[in-house]
Amino acid sequence: MSDNFVLGVDFGTDSVRTVAIDASTGKEVGVSVKYYPRWAKGLYCDPTSNRFRQHPLDYVESLEASIVEALAAAGPSVASKIRGIAVDTTGSTPVFVDRKGTPLALLPEFAENPNAMFILWKDHTAVREAETINELARTWGGEDFTRFEGGIYSSEWFWSKALHTVKEDPKVAKAAYSLMEHADWIPALLTGSDDVTKVKRSRCAMGHKAMWHADFGGYPPAEFFAKLHPRLAELRDTLGTETWTAEVPVGTVSAEWAKRLGIPATAVVCGGAFDCHIGALGGDIKPYNLVKVMGTSTCDILVAPKAEIGKLLVKGICGQVDGSVVPGYVGFEAGQSAFGDVYAWFKKLLLWPIENLAATAGLDAATVEKLRASVSDRLIPELEKAARKLPIEETGVLALDWMNGRRTPDANQLLKGAISGISLGTDAPRIYRALVEATAFGSRAIVERFRREGVRIEAIIAIGGVARKSELVMQTVADVLNMDIKVSASDQSCALGGAMFAATAAGLYPSVEAAEKALSAGFEKTYKPDPKSAKAYDAIYAKYLALGGFVEKELTK
């Protein structure tokens, strides 16, 4: 058995996943998934106002439980041989903290205050604040600090959420010393950091979401933030001026956490990053390969050599940052604000009668729950089975995938989804098929934007739950893009990518690329486009663009 093992810890929207990896072979020896208990109950969230918050205790409890369980599954000899830990999270998911770096929600006076909790990536309460930031960036008289962020600052990102919170909640604003991304807080927690000013901030997180760039000497100047809100200028000054790539160690596991997890206190903790960027490495990314992380939303990641990119700026994406994915390469991020969430919305819509009317039919609670669970588990597979039998042009139904706004190209969280072409003959499989096609069309819009801006895409790689579960979705995307799509053989690509970073930080490999080559899981399947379907989708995609243009015009009058 190997003497070197590492842990990759992947914080997703609903759960945290830990994978224990043999650092010499890449073999998974232990896996655990733990769901956030408070989040699962819908606590601290208000979907009607697009407020999505997560309590830090959800993260702490699930982190410990998942690592302990993964190590138990790995066998008794593995825990003592853990050499490194890497963490990835959703983002931008910031939280207000005190001087020690403690999230305010962990203090008694803010324990039930959503504004003192982590503001999840999908929280869109800061749409107006994002508009304010964009307007200022274009008119304040200095340089445009959004230019490396695709030219449009989003409500999903760091400063929009900070501005919204300091305006809405003066108590939180006054009590906060700084803000931290979830990706930075977990490594700080594991290493026992008690001084937020000494935290090594993530290049990935701060570069893509917080307007950090080396050309600016760090973040935009305090003068810029003061025009937004005086408190933002003060918070900006607590962030320092440097950021670090994910393979750089931030310390070793603290004595407290070593005891809680049962691992050596010598285990290295490397810098945090966002799930999609870490997952791209786990998906075996190469230059000009677009890695699509396909889950509740999508993140589309591409890397290119700095020398080839030069001063090229891609408009309308989620930023381009030196070293955000692989050190030495420029990392590009794009994505869709809803992907799997679109299918989940439709499933929830169809389940409404069972969840709300079954109990009134005289059925006992156990029978209602059994019925609900049975239908819930079978609903999407049965819809897919029926939808696959429909000829592409037969449905006549066309949809937009903007159920949670639009991330790229050209962020606009005010946009809404739409379904057109419905008749009295339209049934659930036809609507589901249209929703699948809409998400594929959204993917094509991203690919076309990269190409139009001068960045070539030579291959497509897919990772994530949807990529491994839905043949209909994957074949549709392949047909719409008219490109092969390779699906990673790992069902935990984000955690695997984290393990690659952890192995590099622990000194087991000389570079991230060497760790990627040694530990890659490879690919389990390739979806190839059907020429006839690809041609048919060209015509339907044109209609998608026309419908999108109409809806966007009407919503932004």
For residue 215, count CB atoms less than 10 angstroms from its CB and return exposed for 0-12, middle for 13-18, buried for 19 or more: exposed
d(CA 321, CA 330): 5
For residue 360, count CB atoms less than 10 angstroms from its CB and return exposed for 0-12, middle for 13-18, buried for 19 or more: exposed
Please determine, for residue 519, whether its predicted confidence score (pLDDT) is greater than 90.
yes
**In terms of domains, do 357 and 231 share one?**
no
**In terms of domains, do 293 and 377 share one?**
yes
pLDDT at 359: 63
b/e sequence 91-105, b meaning 16+ C-beta within 10 Å: bbbbbbbeeebbbbb
Please determine, for residue 385, whether its predicted confidence score (pLDDT) is greater than 80.
yes
pLDDT mean over 126-152: 95
Which tokens belong to 212? 């950090």
Inter-axis angle of helices 471-481 and 531-555, nearest 10: 90
Give residue-wise pLDDT tens across range 206-254.
999 999 999 999 999 999 999 999 999 999 999 999 999 999 999 999 9
d(CA 270, CA 509): 14
**In terms of domains, do 307 and 442 share one?**
yes
Backbone angles phi, psi at 163, to 5 degrees: -65, -45
pLDDT at 369: 81
d(CA 512, CA 137): 35
Please determine, for residue 146, whether its predicted confidence score (pLDDT) is greater than 90.
yes
H helix or E strand, kind and range, residue 356 = helix 340-357
Counting every residue written for the chain, the total comes to: 557
**In terms of domains, do 529 and 513 share one?**
no
CB contact set of 472 (below 8 Å; sequence gap of 6+): 384, 387, 388, 436
**In terms of domains, do 263 and 390 share one?**
no
**In terms of domains, do 48 and 187 share one?**
yes
Q: Smallest Cα–Cα separation from 339: which of 153, 488, 467, 517? A: 467
Backbone angles phi, psi at 317, to 5 degrees: -105, -170
pLDDT mean over 33-49: 96
d(CA 258, CA 96): 26
Of the two residues 372 and 96, the one the predictor is more confident about is: 96
Please determine, for residue 1, whether its predicted confidence score (pLDDT) is greater than 70.
no
Backbone angles phi, psi at 30, to 5 degrees: -160, 135
CA angle 525, 71, 465 (to 5 degrees): 30
d(CA 21, CA 29): 6
pLDDT mean over 118-123: 95
Give residue-wise pLDDT tens across range 322-346.
999 999 999 999 999 999 999 999 9
Give residue-wise pLDDT tens across range 161-186.
999 999 999 999 999 999 999 999 99
Please determine, for residue 104, whether its predicted confidence score (pLDDT) is greater than 80.
yes
pLDDT at 367: 80
**In terms of domains, do 452 and 381 share one?**
yes
Please determine, for residue 371, whether its predicted confidence score (pLDDT) is greater than 90.
no
H helix or E strand, kind and range, residue 56 = helix 56-74
pLDDT mean over 403-428: 93
Whole domain around residue 433: which residue ranges?
284-489+522-557
**In terms of domains, do 302 and 171 share one?**
no
**In terms of domains, do 387 and 498 share one?**
no
Give residue-wise pLDDT tens across range 443-493.
999 999 999 999 999 999 999 889 999 999 999 999 999 999 999 998 889
Query: What pLDDT band is residue 2 in, cutting at 50, 70 and 90?
Result: confident
Please determine, for residue 353, whether its predicted confidence score (pLDDT) is greater than 90.
no
Please determine, for residue 395, whether its predicted confidence score (pLDDT) is greater than 90.
no
**In terms of domains, do 173 and 130 share one?**
yes
The H helix count followed by the E strand count for the chain is 20, 20
Q: Smallest Cα–Cα separation from 211: which of 135, 160, 145? A: 145
- The domain total for the chain is 2
Domain of 479, CATH number, reads 3.30.420.40
Q: Smallest Cα–Cα separation from 500: which of 489, 516, 488, 517? A: 516
**In terms of domains, do 417 and 385 share one?**
yes
**In terms of domains, do 164 and 19 share one?**
yes
pLDDT at 557: 73
d(CA 552, CA 545): 10
